[in-house]
Amino acid sequence: MDKVSRTDAEWRERLSPEEYRVLRKAGTEAPWTGEYTDTKVEGVYRCRACGAELFRSDAKFDSHCGWPSFYKPAAGDAVVLLEDRSLGAVRTEVRCARCDSHLGHVFEGEGYAVPTDQRWCINSVSLSLEPAGQGPHDDGKIIASERNTANQ
């Protein structure tokens, strides 16, 4: 996998202010506001910053936590996990392995009836959904007009 490296100015130019805040500054979107929280569309979830495949819809489940939840990434090398002590507790941050963008956090042992006993709690704004049978990529970047129709 080719790594994506851009300057801060390049990221600001490519991303909306909200995308930049979450993806590049490790922000969090408000619960129940993300476009993919309740989406049931079959497909592939990609990094909104670089287009890397991160999750598949068959690993998405209803956790009722306010953010899209998955029980595993699409591939073991799709994400990087980092220790996060930013809120005074130890959490595990999830980042895109290709561009180092913040995606969300992974939690274990919460008792969800999923094969991994993990909840990958991911910000919708960090993702772009590519519905099954479609491929709206343009050099690793989701085309904005197609991004807006991908969740319909």
Which residues carry out catalysis? 121
Residue 76's closest CA among 132, 39, 116, 16? 116
Q: Residue 50: which of 76, 75, 73, 23 has the closest Cα?
A: 23
**Reduced 3-state DSSP string for 94-113:** EEECCCCCEEEEEEECCCCC
Phi, psi of 50, deg, nearest 5 = -130, -10
